[in-house]
Structure 1
């Protein structure tokens, strides 16, 4: 009788734990999804919004101006990470996550309603620039917080699969969602209507989506205080001061450099495939926009599926081995971009799906690798700053650089540049590993 009573009590408790775990995963992953949706939707719609904010007789010049603003938002991320990262490590993960998701939702709604150059002149371009800076500041610590929490919540022996879900599948779902919405909008209206006003629709959807994510994140527990280890070990304790965070971070500066390069090299490829190539197709070669968005969406499906699969593979073999093999495969993938030199939907599809698959496999692991390189006491700050620097220095300019080099007939420099940074990421990662600077066991 007592055994049956005990089972009856344990079963609801287990069910409640599973429901709580699902809510945490949805709140955590939903914010990651929103960040990437809002960030990517500007990139893929740049060719259509550019004439409204940066009018020019040369459409490529207009597009490059829009992509420059796209890149400018990345340069605000390190500042946001430096400000918000220590707040998250010392006081509250949840507070920083709520700031981030709220800023992204509001910013998307503002862009959807923003007056154009025709209405307010150069102020339109300035306002768009300011919004991107706000988004960069607010999301500076998002990656660090999300991955720091995810590595703590991951089931033992399944860190790769769980980080592949949060840092892979949810990221790709955000990118996929932005391209899918763009596809349906493009398929529903004419190219003239898309250029005139329909480009605003994906931004409006991002703002509404943000409201749902804000609700999900409001129910998240404050994980920092509940799981913190208040010990003398500076790599495990919660620091009393921001200065303590920075002191510890300086001691693991080789790991920080590895994080910057691990993230930066894959972000070169990410923004080349998700922003640079689609905008080249739409803005330079004047491909059918619905086909471009459809092909980019198909690539996103591959990326979504690969997240937990590649993460699970890293759980079975050593993470370092999986990372090294997949990262080095990125080098030949960069050179595939050289084949896209004229209008051809078939060639565009082959480059996006073929080379994009390798990029997607790497996107499934980079957050996991970066998180293992940071000790617990500075994990949020270290990953956030490393992420922000990697994305701003390497990822942000990637789309602009790809289009600019192609426009000036020196496209071969792009894969050379990407390959050098990729090789450096592997080399510095192994330097850090051999010095004992991997803080989560494989």
Structure 2
């Protein structure tokens, strides 16, 4: 039976979508700020005479958070299907804030030795579990509250908030590196973005506790008890393939890009973060446009064009950054790449949600998405750094990692049914 939602009051729909997205923004600020301070974290928790070794260790700890995401996706996603989206979303924001504030208060290697790295990794695992439950549950919540014919546009704001969280993290790190000296950042400035997670916890919990459950979930929740916990694994596999390129592109073009532009495009740490921030702004601005377009022309055309554009342009753009260098070249390239990535991020939330019936959506969308993010996305900065170190080519991550990911996801998209305009199942 379809889960029609033509009777949803517009004011309730807006309030619910706002609650999901503001909490999502706050969580992805918490989760993502680590990447923008990776070089400092490497020095504080993984000291080494070889900067590359320390950076690899820091990015490995970053990736461990992603390995925990499938666990969170399955456990918290299942909670979202059995006990409601709202309960799961309150839990995720609490766990993410605990992990983030903990990192901000954590003693460094200088104080407690190797235990600093161990505790940092444990806190990243807590963050990873929270992030795993957050993405799929908040996406399901937004799509289920959206009006028919506008799910692409409404769902795009889930990605606006995800990119917005990264933007907030990048901007915070950029401001701090601009106003503080390198010594101040190394001594205490790096802690500030993490401790700010306390403010996000209070705001996020208040907003999410004061919102209603989605009407589609209320109509379908009786089906969960009748359904096997593993009944949706085939659909979850589609979500996995769909997400591979999405997550590789996102974390290479955003989390890893400040490292690339510092090492190979001649930017200072502050310039690299500001360039990345401008690129994130372009994503945030463009995502709703592409989401709305997917409601009119379909999900598949928008997704395929975005995939092919990035695959075709990534190598020449990074080559240009290396050859010319400087903000005048890097910033336009990051804006262009951001606008292309926004095509996938605009149509993606609605497209991946529409793969599933409501009673399986939170569990299996979370499982498929987070497993792909763990295997391919979370370790994208690590893989990029390792590939460059192994091959000696700064461009090797493009043709050995990102472009193959684009091919895989494009093949999955071609096999998906067009779902724009169809009612939720």
Does TM-score exceed 0.5, indicating one fold? yes
Deviations, residues 3-50 of structure 1 (Å, cap 9, x unaligned): xxxxxxxxxxx9xx6554443222110121122111110011111121
Compute the displacement of 1:226 (Å): 6.3
Distance 1:302 1:225, change over 3 A: closer
Deviation at 1:60, TM superposition (A): 1.6
Q: 1:384 aligned to 2:384?
A: no
TM-score by length of 1: 0.87
Structure 2 match to 1:100: 92
Q: 1:308 maps to which residue?
A: 288
| Structure 1 spans left out of the alignment, 5+ residues | 1-13, 231-236
Go from structure 1 to structure 2 and tell me whether the alpha carbon gap of 1:432 and 1:311 turns closer, same or farther (over 3 Å shift): closer
Q: Secondary structure at the match of 2:35?
A: helix
Pick one of 203, 207, 210 that aligns with 1:216. 207
In the TM superposition, what is the alpha-carbon distance from 1:334 to its structure 2 partner?
2.9
Whether 2:318 is the aligned partner of 1:337: answer yes
Asked whether the equivalents of residues 263 and 367 of structure 1 are also in contact (C-alpha less than 8 Å), the reply is no
List structure 1 segments (4+ residues) > 6 angstroms apart after TM superposition. 283-286
Count the aligned residue pairs: 414
Query: Quick one: structure 1 residues 418 and 292, their matched pair in 2 at CA, closer, same or farther if it must change by over 3 Å?
Result: same
Q: Distance in 2 between matches of 1:118 and 1:25?
A: 44
Cα separation, partners in 2 of 1:172 and 1:226, compared to 1, 3 Å: closer
1:190 and 2:199 matched: no
Q: Using a 3 Å threshold, how does the CA distance of structure 1 residues 207 and 112 change in structure 2: closer, same or farther? A: same
Find out whether 1:240 has 2:225 as its counterpart. yes
Instruction: Report the CA distance between 1:188 and its aligned residue.
Output: 1.1
- Is 2:279 aligned against 1:262? no
Q: CA deviation at 1:376?
A: 1.6
- Structure 2 residue matching 1:433: 3-state secondary structure: coil
Cα offsets for 1:351-394 (capped at 9, x unmatched) = 32232321233222222221111122201111100111111011
Q: Evaluate the alpha carbon distance shift between residue 226 and residue 394 of structure 1 in structure 2; reply closer, same or farther with a 3 A threshold.
A: closer
Write the distance in 1 (CA, Å) between the matches of 2:254 and 2:412. 26
Q: Say which of 157, 169, 174 aligns to 2:165.
A: 174
1:401-426 deviation digits (Å, cap 9, x = unpaired): 11222233144442222212212212
Q: Assess if the C-alpha contact under 8 Å between 1:47 and 1:282 holds in 2.
A: no
- Compute the displacement of 1:323 (Å): 1.5
1:227 is aligned to: 218
**Equivalent residue number for residue 129 of structure 2:** 137
1:427 aligns with 2:411: yes
Could you tell me how far 1:312 is from its partner in structure 2? 0.9
The one-character-per-residue Cα deviations of 1:281-312 (angstroms, maximum 9, x if unpaired) are 34677732221111111111111111211111
Give 1:199 deviation, angstroms: 1.0
**Residue equivalent to 1:46:** 38
Write the distance in 1 (CA, Å) between the matches of 2:333 and 2:57.
25
Whose Rg is larger? 1
Match of 1:373 among 355, 364, 371: 355
* TM-score, normalised with respect to structure 2: 0.90
Aligned to 1:137, the other structure's residue is in SS state: helix
The aligned counterpart of 2:273 is 293
Range with greater deviation from structure 2 (99-108 or 411-420)? 411-420
1:81–1:381 CA contact under 8 A, matched in 2:
yes
Contact 2:244 2:408 in 1 (8 A): no
- Judge conservation of contact 1:374–1:383 (CA < 8 Å) in 2: yes
Give per-residue Cα distances to partners, 1:168-215, cap 9 Å, x unaligned: 211121111111111111111112211222111111123322221111
Residue 233 (structure 1) aligns with: none
Q: Which residue of 2 aligns with 1:358?
A: 340
After the TM superposition, which residues 114-133 of structure 1 pair with which residues of structure 2 at under 5 Å, given as runs?
114-133=106-125
**What are structure 2's unaligned runs of at least 5 residues?**
1-6
| Match of residue 65 from structure 1 | 57
Q: What SS class does the counterpart of residue 244 from structure 1 fall into? A: coil
Paired with 1:137 and 1:176, the residues of 2 have a C-alpha distance of 22
